[in-house]
Structure 1
Amino acid sequence: MADAGQLARRYELDWLRVLAFALLIFYHTGMLYVERWGFHYKSQYLSSTLEYLMLASSPWRMLLIWLISGYALGTVLRRLRRWQHYGRLALTRSVGLLLPLMVGLWIIVPPQLYAEMVQKDGLTLSYWQFYQAFFDLSHPLFAAYQRGVWPHVDVNHLWYLRSLWKFTFVLLLLAPLLYWPPLQRQIGRVFALPLGWQLLLYSALLFVSRYGLEDDARRDVQGFGYFLVGALLVGQTAFWQKLAVARTWLGWGCFGNYLLLCGLYYCYTQPALLPSALQPQLQIGLLGSFVLQAALVVWWLLALAERYLNKPHRYLNVANRTVFPIYLVHQSAIVIAALYLTPFQLGGALEAALVLLFTLVASVVFVGVFWHLPWCAALVGLKTTHVFSPWQQRLGYALGLIIVTPLALTLLL
């Protein structure tokens, strides 16, 4: 096991983080067009065939992001030596995560609710009229939309930030135990197991977590599981060595199980194909294939990245800095574009292309504006190259803490 102070930077995880968040733009654009999957807004051009393409990333995309997030935090925790360091990390992470979430809740996410209400409820108000009503938490306009951090003020796609903040605090509390040398030796034995056994273990845990929990709770349990695995992978050199020699069979396993998953999903969506008595077995098989695909693809992508992406690049640092604010704004840009393109009836392919183009341009403009306003960059989670003095940093964190405290208390209670 590598010493905490000698941990080499894994550039492949930086690349995977950027690519995984970039994939969200295409995935959430696809959600406009899939026929049977719910979304905040739907195009008039729906396709059931597209669902099979979406299945290629649906099982694993967020689990990969959680694992990388856990690894990033784990590398920091392994270097902490004093309780004061833990307190400082808790403060900086709270401001760094909850400040953009607060901006998202009140400014970035509301257009998604507006589009949803236009389509589902026939809302005829202008956006400005809607937005004025949005700040009244007891407004009758939102009587059917009470779910949220506050009534009708929901996180939507920013649930990741809410959960990441909570997971960070849990890991901070667990860190002294998790990185206790005797326990680390036992954890090392788990990661030294053959990859096949590890995959079965993770798949079984994912499978079990699908039962008895509501959607949000299930999503958090699975996310925290991979977040924890990522944090524990720090310094586990034996695991990475196993990945290097398993790349080929992992790839074939992903391909074969994807075909199986598509076949089972087809049967699930065509209930007349099988007797009703076999439907429960079909659902179990579909779920089993789904969670196995999640575990297989995450490990395969780690193996590919370790082989081909474990190197720095002059654009990687910029991409890592900008991926957070782009994640923050991308889904609202997608929904806004779809809402205003709908009346033109452009056809599915052209509409989707324009939605993607608008989202990419809007994301670049969004980042560019805040890049040149470094004093405001923290509001959207953007780390610019501007250097602040120590007193400016302390003042910024103090103001940030004042702003996010109501949100932090609401999330904890």
Structure 2
Amino acid sequence: MTDAGQLARRYELDWLRVLAFALLIFYHTGMLYVERWGFHYKSQYLSSTLEYLMLASSPWRMLLIWLISGYAFGSVLRRLNHWRQYSKLALTRTVVLLLPLMVGLWLIVPPQLYAEMVQKDGLTLSYWQFYQAFFDLSHPLFNDYRRGVWPHVDVNHLWYLRSLWKFTLVLLLLAPLLYWSPVQQRLSRFFALPLCWQLLGCCLFLFISRYWLEGDARRDVQGFGYFLLGALLVGQPPFWQKLAEARSWLGWGCFGNYLLLCGLYYFYTQPALLPSALQPLLQICLLGSFVLQAALMVWWLLALAERYLNKPHRYLNVANRTVFPIYLVHQSAIIIAALYLTPFQLGGALEAALVLLFTLVASVVFVGVFWYLPWCAALVGLKTTHVFSQWQQRLGYALGLIIVTPLALTLLL
């Protein structure tokens, strides 16, 4: 067990969580317009220049979210001291995470597949006709899309929820070892080391995993690494003190390496400018700069937040509650808006502005509807201010567990 001071709430992480998920709206809108990066749907107005702006957040955005998620879960874990508490936490987190994922799989994500098929395959069915076929897992319409949790029923941007649930279960199993006193003593000594050594460790981890792994395997290994790191940072005051002291050089390091990253990326996308013999070296340098930017930016943002955002605000609680459902719906709103704006040929700037406006309005409406339907709020991961009785909570968790059990078994097997 740790003392109260060590477990004091870090409001800066709450702020960073809100800001990081808000960034996803702009990032996924940008994915409509970048020329060389794949996405479920693409605008007719593509830009290679936009890729350099996207590189400003691409290396680190999900790593920051994973670290914050790990810290939040680690704060809960450190308060547990009995196997029954671990079991209860596993069941409640299963419902809290997989119930919105189930809703997302069958109701929120399908419009993304529809837009993808309209653009890539020239699909002419109405959305209602498409959606009726969607529930037939063996329908020939989806012969080229046999991927996902179930055939053609994929997670898309909701992969975070799938991975978060799995990481939660793994960390619950590891918790007795991680919070064993001798292990904690060694971790304390590690986090007391100079920050450059910890930064080097993060870079090596990211470089090796990115070099040797691909696709979901690479994403999950890196995600779990930072999720675990976030959990281990709970109750480590020396680490946060070192961050505060290193804020200046971390910032300059991020700026200088970002310029280097953009330069390397330019030569990577223009292979004719370099001899072919130098291409392997260029790729290694680009990878090294990418992972260095990822590690530096996460540390720098934590340092900035600790200095400027470590305080509560009356709107912070509301923002924290609404982040989850907005994350759930935002990418589908982006792609729906882009699909129906495409025929009007509005130009890239106006189209992007309208996509963002529609996404923000749709997100607010989505949250507002479920805010006033507290009995349904759990379906989209929204924590309302409504107070349920103990028997209502137990009934809700029991029903939720029944609903998500098929999904949980599918994800585990």
- Relative to the length of structure 2, the TM-score reads 0.99
Partner of 2:126: 126
Partner of 1:70: 70
Give, in whole Å, the separation in 1 of the partners of 2:4 and 2:141: 54
Give, in whole Å, the separation in 2 of the partners of 1:294 and 1:117: 34
Deviations 1:248-296 (A, max 9, x none): 0000000000000000000000001110000000000000000000000
Residue 197 of structure 1 and its aligned partner are, at CA, apart by 1.4
Partner of 2:39: 39
Deviations 1:84-130 (A, max 9, x none): 11011001100000000000000000000000000000000000000
Q: How does 1:352-391 map to 2 (within 5 A)?
A: 352-391=352-391
Q: Is the 1:70–1:230 contact (alpha carbons within 8 Å) kept by the matching residues of 2?
A: yes
Q: Percent identity?
A: 89
After superposing the two structures, state which structure 1 stretch, 376-385 or 205-214, moved more: 205-214
SS of the residue aligned with 1:211?
Answer: helix
Partner of 2:110: 110
SS of the residue aligned with 1:103?
Answer: helix
Q: How does 1:94-243 map to 2 (within 5 A)?
A: 94-243=94-243
Residue 9 of structure 1 and its aligned partner are, at CA, apart by 0.3
Q: How does 1:244-255 map to 2 (within 5 A)?
A: 244-255=244-255
Q: How does 1:15-26 map to 2 (within 5 A)?
A: 15-26=15-26
Residue 193 of structure 1 and its aligned partner are, at CA, apart by 1.3
Partner of 1:308: 308
Unpaired stretches in structure 1, ≥5 consecutive residues: none
Q: Is the 1:2–1:236 contact (alpha carbons within 8 Å) kept by the matching residues of 2?
A: no
Give, in whole Å, the separation in 2 of the partners of 1:193 and 1:154: 43
Q: Is the 1:4–1:235 contact (alpha carbons within 8 Å) kept by the matching residues of 2?
A: no
Residue 212 of structure 1 and its aligned partner are, at CA, apart by 3.2
Give, in whole Å, the separation in 1 of the partners of 2:189 and 2:177: 17
Give, in whole Å, the separation in 1 of the partners of 2:299 and 2:42: 33
Give, in whole Å, the separation in 2 of the partners of 1:214 and 1:261: 21
Give, in whole Å, the separation in 1 of the partners of 2:213 and 2:238: 34
Q: How does 1:289-328 map to 2 (within 5 A)?
A: 289-328=289-328
Deviations 1:330-352 (A, max 9, x none): 00000000000000000000000
SS of the residue aligned with 1:210?
Answer: helix
Deviations 1:48-93 (A, max 9, x none): 0000000000000000000000000000000001111101100110
Give, in whole Å, the separation in 1 of the partners of 2:276 and 2:188: 46
Give, in whole Å, the separation in 1 of the partners of 2:131 and 2:4: 49
Give, in whole Å, the separation in 2 of the partners of 1:112 and 1:272: 36
Q: Is the 1:2–1:237 contact (alpha carbons within 8 Å) kept by the matching residues of 2?
A: no
Equivalent position amino acid for 2:228 in 1: L
Deviations 1:138-171 (A, max 9, x none): 0000000001000000000000000000000000
Q: Is the 2:117–2:123 contact (alpha carbons within 8 Å) kept by the matching residues of 1?
A: yes
Deviations 1:20-43 (A, max 9, x none): 000000000000000000000000
Q: Is the 1:34–1:50 contact (alpha carbons within 8 Å) kept by the matching residues of 2?
A: yes
Partner of 2:7: 7
Give, in whole Å, the separation in 1 of the partners of 2:190 and 2:340: 52
Residue 6 of structure 1 and its aligned partner are, at CA, apart by 5.2
Give, in whole Å, the separation in 2 of the partners of 1:255 and 1:212: 27
SS of the residue aligned with 1:384?
Answer: coil
Cα distance 1:5–1:308, how it changes in 2: closer, same or farther (>3 A)?
Answer: closer
Partner of 1:80: 80
Residue 5 of structure 1 and its aligned partner are, at CA, apart by 7.6
Q: Is the 2:109–2:156 contact (alpha carbons within 8 Å) kept by the matching residues of 1?
A: yes
The count of residues paired between Structure 1 and Structure 2 equals 413
Residue 210 of structure 1 and its aligned partner are, at CA, apart by 1.4
Equivalent position amino acid for 2:391 in 1: W
Residue 213 of structure 1 and its aligned partner are, at CA, apart by 2.2
Give, in whole Å, the separation in 2 of the partners of 1:5 and 1:155: 39
User: C-alpha root-mean-square deviation of aligned residues, in Å?
Assistant: 0.9
Partner of 2:260: 260
Residue 329 of structure 1 and its aligned partner are, at CA, apart by 0.1
Partner of 1:279: 279
Residue 227 of structure 1 and its aligned partner are, at CA, apart by 0.2
SS of the residue aligned with 1:145?
Answer: coil
Deviations 1:172-225 (A, max 9, x none): 000010011110110111111111111111011100001332310100000000
- Relative to the length of structure 1, the TM-score reads 0.99
Equivalent position amino acid for 1:266 in 2: Y
Q: Is the 1:99–1:403 contact (alpha carbons within 8 Å) kept by the matching residues of 2?
A: yes
Equivalent position amino acid for 1:53 in 2: L
Q: Is the 1:71–1:234 contact (alpha carbons within 8 Å) kept by the matching residues of 2?
A: yes
Partner of 2:27: 27
Q: Is the 2:32–2:42 contact (alpha carbons within 8 Å) kept by the matching residues of 1?
A: yes
Equivalent position amino acid for 1:79 in 2: R
